[in-house]
Chain A
């Protein structure tokens, strides 16, 4: 799990005379704070997704897809 809770030390400084900044989401859109899920939820989502994904990956490959690759190969070899 990649929970990045890094708060740069700079942001915590309150020694200036500016009012305490309320965690500014102004970095840029890419780094805008994204709600972090509780670990177990992210884990569950991951498990469910992988289970779904793997169940498709484990289906037998349709014959026509295999056939396609074989045809392409044999076409090239017969050149």
Chain B
């Protein structure tokens, strides 16, 4: 019982959650495995910079989301997200109660990446607002605001009913998250 698990054991233990986050965030199963692979490699390479006894999962999630956003921005520059736009347009609004995983994923993909990430970290992964803010490199207030907006938009998406006039997110949030 006293034996501490190795860093490798800890990584392996984290893989299921990393995969779930990567898949839900990117909406792409194949890409998510690549993202997790890269995350594991980076974590291993930089394991000396991990502060022992701090939150390993939060650290790994930070690496993963940074890896994803680097990819995402590159991708956006290249193709202006045509695929996602096309995919999104073809999804009809669904009754909330009849929502299948697939529809949930598609509705998620129509959120901005910032909102999607916030909702996943808080609602699905169960991070505290503090930890989630740390992972995303934003303020706790920003995180709370993103989660609330993401919930509203998701509901709108899924019921086809607007809950609020379109409020664009402040630009400061955008820039602080793009690291």
- At the interface, is chain B mostly helix, strand, loop or mixed? helix
Q: Verify A48–B16 contact, CB threshold 8 A.
A: no
Segment 74-108 of B: residues with Cβ below 8 Å from A: 96-97, 99, 101, 104-105, 108
Q: Verify B149–A30 contact, CB threshold 8 A.
A: no
Q: Which of B105, B108, B145, B163 contacts A37 (CB 8 A)?
A: B163
Q: Verify B15–A52 contact, CB threshold 8 A.
A: no
The answer to whether A72 and B124 touch (CB under 8 A), given A57-B16, A58-B16, is: no
User: Which B residues lie within 8 Å of A64 (CB)?
Assistant: 33, 37
Q: Mark B7-40, 1 if CB is under 8 A from A, else 0.
A: 0100110011101110110000000010011001
Q: Mark B132-165, 1 if CB is under 8 A from A, else 0.
A: 0000000101101100110110110010000110
- At the interface, is chain A mostly helix, strand, loop or mixed? helix
Question: Is B44 on the interface with A (CB-CB < 8 A)?
Answer: yes
Q: Verify B17–A57 contact, CB threshold 8 A.
A: yes
- Least CB distance from B70 to A in Å reads 20
How long is the Cα–Cα vector from A63 to B172 in the complex, in angstroms? 41
How long is the Cα–Cα vector from A55 to B16 in the complex, in angstroms? 10
User: Which A residues lie within 8 Å of B36 (CB)?
Assistant: 65
- Least CB distance from B16 to A in Å reads 4
Q: Verify B97–A53 contact, CB threshold 8 A.
A: no
Q: Verify B145–A34 contact, CB threshold 8 A.
A: yes
Question: Is A50 on the interface with B (CB-CB < 8 A)?
Answer: yes
User: Which B residues lie within 8 Å of A62 (CB)?
Assistant: 33
Q: Which of A29, A42, A57, A70 contacts B19 (CB 8 A)?
A: A57
How long is the Cα–Cα vector from A31 to B151 in the complex, in angstroms? 16
